Amino acid sequence: MAEDKIIRTEEEWKRLLTPEEYRVLREKGTEPPGSGELYHNTERGTYMCRACGAELFKSDAKYDSGSGWPSFWQAVDPSKIATETDTSHGMLRKEILCARCGSHLGHVFDDGPKETTGQRFCVNSMSLKFKKE
């Protein structure tokens, strides 16, 4: 069963998120590489959208891409991730968003582990919260 979409005004999001969370999740910001609290996390568990709690990634799909951001080779369920074309900063990229609340997560690239999906979901730590198993 699909989760109901969460629709809030930007004023509601500003009340629910810290200013830095709002900048990344709602204004499509990026945290500096290597600075995120979950970048080096190796514990087993589930990575969820910080804004709405939707389950997005499992720890067994996380790997060290060397990019400076948490990287995953697949989502828990493809329907949990929405994508949009991103042409900011003079680049052509595929932005990933939480399908439930529309919050910015990061980008997906086709340079992930070839023995898996070949994808690299490059996600801001600020966009995630972690639930340990």
Residue 122 among the catalytic residues:
yes
Close Cβ partners of 104 (under 8 Å, ≥ 6 residues apart): 24, 25, 26, 27, 28, 29, 95, 97, 124, 127
What are the residues facing 48 on neighbouring strands? 55, 129
- Long-range contacts from 91-95, C-beta under 8 angstroms, 24+ separation: 95/28
Of the residues 49, 98, 101, 122, only one is catalytic, namely: 122
- Among all residues, which ones are annotated catalytic? 122
